[in-house]
Amino acid sequence: MELDSINILIGGEAGQGLVTLSQILTRGLVRAGYYIVVTQSYQSRIRGGHNSYAIRVSDREIMAPKEPVDLLIALDQNSVVLHMSELSQHGLVVVDEAISSDQHPQIVYAPFSRIAGAMFSNSVALGTISALLGLNENTIGETLRGFFDKHGAESTKENLVSFSAGYEWMIQQKSEFPKLGPPALSEGRLALNGNEAIALGAIAAGMKFFSFYPMTPATSIATTLADHATEMEFVLEQAEDEIAAINMAVGASFSGAPSMVATSGGGFALMTETVSLAGMTETPVVIVVAQRPGPSTGLPTRTEQGDLEFVLHAGHGEFPRAIFTPGDVEEAFNITGKAFHIAQKFNTPVFILTDQFLADSYRSVKPFDLDTIDPVDPCSVSDVAVNRHITYVLTHTGVSPRTFPGMSGQCVKASSSQDLVIADSDEHTPDGHLTEDLSVRISMVEKRLRKLDGIKSELARPEFLGDSEPDLLLVCWGSTKGSTIEAANRLRKTGRRVATLHFTQIWPIIGEEFVEKLKSAGKTISVESNATGQFARLIRRETGFQIEKAILRYDGLPITPEYILAGLQT
């Protein structure tokens, strides 16, 4: 029997070491050269509750999660009860014999804790899974060693011995569970999730200041950055609240440092006054909003795309902004770099709108080409010909060249009392002082808004994939990319003409670039993780085009290809 991919689900309580086990397996699979898509689903608690970590693995390229479970590793009885019904035809459950012994043809009882005691039972489990999938014992063993060494654990040896014992035991069972084909990838790929990619993308973009207040699912951006702050010489600061976080970033940016903050909906709500401040003072700042279901505290650890309209309109008054919506991990890295460039070039707030699914979803990522890394250089744009710097000098693009306090053009140390930078949250004259001259007001409003034309000229264009003039066009944005494309691929195999249109940037939006595609389709359907179809509404508002139908999900779980295909039936 051959499968196009194997969907492994590891289930258990919080505090059982599930994440460690799963992450070692994730890294091992990537190191071995497989493609993976991880879906983490956890409850908002530190102990107990039910958590699951799904790894879909394949020897060919995959980009979406999958629903049926081929291999269930149950660390507790509850996981068997909860996930048995998701098991595919040929699916298998592996569970510790100490937990249960109900007879069932699809259940294998393994001596996880009998072999090594409760302390090391997860390493036995890792060995069992590795053998079952036909993975090279060494590759996974080395990954395990690396993981424990990195975390300074003293028990690396015991874990390795337990791992091998589990591996041996499984080999002897001579299971007929389908093995993975030989891995397709040889180059050393990176195992990264969406949040790690944003964090690393920001470092590569030349970020010099990051501030945050912890909030799931954004926190792991801060955690990742904290690992590298000293080495990469940027300031990382946990602020007293989100208002402080974004004001610090604005202050840092004002003094010349490319800056970023990361939060989720509730924390972002607190930041909105300062989003407007950044718009008014023309201070670049990159704002990551990792969405989770709202309103209010909502479902803290689940996923949703419910904050599109919020982020689009956040902040009082009118000023330009750009909103990027990465569709996968590689895009998350690259688009973060672009976000920094757009922010720096147009001196305005720029957003990266992601969500819990992508934040926590590990993928196998091709190493980034360091020759093409292009960090922003704040000093290069700060060139002014005039003697005295004018912070908000009127230009035809609306963009005023910047200098920074204490420095004149090109970051040369300021030597004259003419080299001053004056910024004001009040309406201001070109030299930065507050004014109530209403004709100045008009020219300043127009100056700021003119920058949107420049932002439009550097748009990340929507990606059209599939058959031209399709019978069916699926429209999506952000993290639903992979599932939508895979659903389309499956439909195409049934003989339909299908295409997808994915947006990595949802603001600004230029109708001329894609409306013809929408019109050319027999039927258009939007795919969104929210209850009201916010993106379809935005397209209608901006272009007049009404997308016919929506497939929406708002139970907190990610949209899967199966969910889309089922939605098409109704």
Of 133, 24, 37, give the one whose Cα is nearest residue 364.
37
User: Judging by DSSP bridges, how do beta strands 472-477 and 523-528 pair with one another?
Assistant: parallel
Which residue's CB is nearer to another protein, number 132 or number 329?
329
Residues 516, 479: contact at Cβ < 8 Å? no
What's the CA gap between 366 and 374, in Å, rounded?
18
C-beta neighbour count of 305 within 10 angstroms:
27
Which residue's CB is nearer to another protein, number 259 or number 301?
259
427 is a contact residue toward another protein (CB under 8 A): no
Least distance (Å) from another protein to the CB of residue 428?
Answer: 9
Residues 501, 488: contact at Cβ < 8 Å? no
Task: Quickly list DSSP for 181-233.
Answer: PPPS--S--EEE-HHHHHHHHHHHTT--EEEE---TTTHHHHHHHHHHHHHHT
Which residue's CB is nearer to another protein, number 408 or number 524?
408
Residues 181, 207: contact at Cβ < 8 Å? no
Q: Which two tokens stand for residue 228?
A: 């590298």
Torsion of CA 45, 47, 48, 53, to 10 degrees: 70
Least distance (Å) from another protein to the CB of residue 364?
Answer: 11
Site for another protein in 31-90 (CB under 8 A): 31
Which residue's CB is nearer to another protein, number 107 or number 287?
287
Site for another protein in 204-223 (CB under 8 A): 204, 206, 208-209, 211
CA 127, 133, 139, 145 dihedral sign is negative
User: x/- string (CB under 8 A) for another protein, residues 396-415?
Assistant: --------xxxx---x-xxx
The residue within the footprint of another protein, chosen from 57, 71, 191, 550 (CB under 8 A), is: 191
437 is a contact residue toward another protein (CB under 8 A): no
Least distance (Å) from another protein to the CB of residue 300?
Answer: 23
548 is a contact residue toward another protein (CB under 8 A): no
Residues 462, 501: contact at Cβ < 8 Å? yes
Least distance (Å) from another protein to the CB of residue 333?
Answer: 10
Least distance (Å) from another protein to the CB of residue 88?
Answer: 31
E strands of 213-334, at which residues?
A: 235-238, 259-263, 285-291, 322-324
Backbone angles phi, psi at 297, to 5 degrees: -70, -30
Least distance (Å) from another protein to the CB of residue 233?
Answer: 4
Which residue's CB is nearer to another protein, number 81 or number 373?
373
Query: What letter does residue 99 receive in the DSSP assignment?
Result: T
Which residue's CB is nearer to another protein, number 302 or number 338?
338
The residue within the footprint of another protein, chosen from 254, 357, 392, 503 (CB under 8 A), is: 254
Contacts of 289 by beta carbon, 8 Å cutoff, 6+ apart: 218, 262, 263, 264, 265, 268, 307, 311, 351, 352, 353, 354
Any bridge partners for residue 8, and if so which?
A: 55, 71
The residue within the footprint of another protein, chosen from 50, 189, 302, 345 (CB under 8 A), is: 189
128 is a contact residue toward another protein (CB under 8 A): no
The residue within the footprint of another protein, chosen from 375, 401, 430, 508 (CB under 8 A), is: 375
Which residue's CB is nearer to another protein, number 176 or number 231?
231
Of 92, 137, 134, 95, give the one whose Cα is nearest residue 114.
95
Binding range to another protein, per CB under 8 A, among 36-44, 169-177, 196-204, 492-500: 196-204
198 is a contact residue toward another protein (CB under 8 A): no
| Angle, vertex CA 318, rays to CA 317 and CA 319, nearest 5 | 125
Residue 371 identity: D
Contacts of 461 by beta carbon, 8 Å cutoff, 6+ apart: 505, 513
Binding range to another protein, per CB under 8 A, among 90-98, 158-166, 187-195, 350-358: 187-195
328 is a contact residue toward another protein (CB under 8 A): no
The residue within the footprint of another protein, chosen from 84, 232, 270, 565 (CB under 8 A), is: 232
Which residue's CB is nearer to another protein, number 65 or number 378?
378
555 is a contact residue toward another protein (CB under 8 A): no
162 is a contact residue toward another protein (CB under 8 A): no
139 is a contact residue toward another protein (CB under 8 A): no
Least distance (Å) from another protein to the CB of residue 220?
Answer: 13
Which residue's CB is nearer to another protein, number 111 or number 251?
251
The residue within the footprint of another protein, chosen from 4, 97, 241, 471 (CB under 8 A), is: 241
User: Judging by DSSP bridges, how do beta strands 69-74 and 6-14 pair with one another?
Assistant: parallel
Number of residues that bind another protein (CB under 8 A): 74
240 is a contact residue toward another protein (CB under 8 A): yes
Least distance (Å) from another protein to the CB of residue 191?
Answer: 6
Q: Which two tokens stand for residue 480?
A: 């639903």
364 is a contact residue toward another protein (CB under 8 A): no
Least distance (Å) from another protein to the CB of residue 108?
Answer: 32
User: Judging by DSSP bridges, how do beta strands 472-477 and 69-74 pair with one another?
Assistant: unpaired
User: x/- string (CB under 8 A) for another protein, residues 269-298?
Assistant: ----xx--x---x-----------------
User: Judging by DSSP bridges, how do beta strands 363-365 and 190-192 pair with one another?
Assistant: antiparallel
Binding range to another protein, per CB under 8 A, among 42-50, 198-206, 507-515, 517-525: 198-206
Query: What letter does residue 434 receive in the DSSP assignment?
Result: B
230 is a contact residue toward another protein (CB under 8 A): yes
Of 16, 25, 31, 21, give the one whose Cα is nearest residue 130.
25
Residues 483, 558: contact at Cβ < 8 Å? yes
